[in-house]
Structure 1
Amino acid sequence: MGVRQWLRSWPVIRQITGDDPSGRGNAVRSAATERTAPRTAHADSVTRSICPYCAVGCGQRVFVQDGRVTQIEGDPDSPISRGRLCPKGSASKQLVTSPSRVTKVLYRRPYGTDWEELDLGQAMDMIAERVLATRAATWQQRDEDGLTLRRTLGFASLGGATLDNEENYLMKKLYTALGAVQIENQARI
């Protein structure tokens, strides 16, 4: 390769000496550029989703290849975000694919020092038993004047901003049905 040909291989030289002074066309293209492809080009499927981080509800497109999430981008068809994501939403892939993500139920017994793994069914049964026991122990049918209350002050709900509207709706319905009156959401506080 001669010096002249070697110099022409540099995009900046092609830009200065060629017919593309703005560097937006052929001057900046190279063999390496031609070989590149978007990370989303080889996805097996694309699923629409909602960003999990706040209550805005920005639309996301989740690209899946070989059963694994390969990319998460903003959904241009979303009327809320029109394809844009904030920095946290743009990093959603890390939330899903991080090797440090906890995928098992961990439980630390009272006064315990170590975590132990539990079966999901066992953990759900423990939670249900404790909720029902607390409800039974703290249930208020009537007040001292005989007025009907039908409530419990034994537990409360504080929803997080990472929950979407549907999840918050279902939590509100559940806790109201259980008789709780202290139901709040982080987004409203």
Structure 2
Amino acid sequence: MLRQVRGRDRLGRGAAAQSAHTRALTPRTETADRVVDSVCPFCAVGCGQKVYVEDGRVTQIEGDPASPVSRGRLCPKGSASTQLVTSDRRVTTVRYRRPHGTEWEDLDLDTAMDMIADRVVATRRRHWEWEDDQGRRTRRTLGIASLGGATLDNEENYLMKKLYTAMGAIQIENQARI
């Protein structure tokens, strides 16, 4: 109150309301080495994010005020994006549970990619259809389908469509259309 009366901040909305501790505080993003523009990974809205990186680690994620979609705002999930990438409980290895298994095991990435490729080729071979019951040429497989997520952008969806079409799949859909 005394600071209000003595100073220029008569309504107590500025300097008169600040303590020495408050004036000494600095933004938690001030020490970042760089700021990376990103998009929130949680839904199809595509809110812009500013990712603050210090010493190669993500230290803070905030809404991007320049984003025409979100104008600097993030929903509760988007605001928790920092936890998504910095949590010590985040799984950073390939996890695999064998058929009828009860425990997860870690696999190296090359082994996992080879397993996926082998299964795709085997499924395609097993379910390949050169023609239908009436003799019409089909050249397709009904053993492979794709359901893309709403967080994928147009370019990613385009590439997925091209990949699955090249493999002969015809059941290609996106969650945003459903």
Q: Is TM-score (shorter-chain normalized) higher than 0.5?
A: yes
User: Residue 58 of structure 1 contacts residue 74 of structure 1 at CA under 8 Å; is this kept in 2?
Assistant: yes
Cα distance in structure 1, aligned partners of 2:103 and 2:77: 32
Higher strand residue share? 2
TM-score calculated relative to the size of structure 1 = 0.86
1:30 is the counterpart of 2:19:
yes
1:23–1:177 CA distance, 2 compared to 1 (3 A): farther
Give how far 1:17 is off: 4.7
Q: 1:102 and 2:53 equivalent? A: no
CA deviation string 1:43-88 (max 9, x = no partner): 0000111111112211111000011101111112222222222221
One-letter identity of the residue aligned with 1:58: C
Matched letter for residue 134 of structure 1: T
Give the Å deviation of 1:155. 1.6
**1:21 shift after superposition:** 5.1
Structure 1 counterpart of 2:151: 162
For 1:164 and 1:90, locate their aligned partners in 2 and report how far apart those are by CA, in whole Å: 21
Q: Does 1:142 align with 2:121?
A: no
What is the root-mean-square deviation of aligned Cα atoms in Å?
A: 1.7
Unaligned runs of 5+ in 2: none
Partner in structure 1 of residue 34 of structure 2: 45
The 1:97–1:14 alpha-carbon spacing in structure 2 relative to 1, beyond 3 Å, is farther
Deviation for aligned residue 1:166? 3.1
Task: Kindly indicate whether the alpha-carbon contact (under 8 Å) linking 1:140 and 1:151 is maintained by their aligned counterparts in 2.
Answer: yes
* Structure 1 position 152, deviation (Å): 0.8
Distance 2:3 2:155 in 1: 53
| TM-score normalised to structure 2 length | 0.91
Report the more deviating stretch, 157-166 or 48-57: 157-166
User: For the pair shown, which has the larger CA radius of gyration, 1 or 2?
Assistant: 1
Counterpart CA distance in 1 for 2:36 and 2:92 is 22
**% identity of equivalent residues:** 69
Q: Unaligned 5+ residue runs, structure 1?
A: 1-12
1:130 maps to which residue? 119
Partner Cα distance (1:137, 1:25) in 2: 73
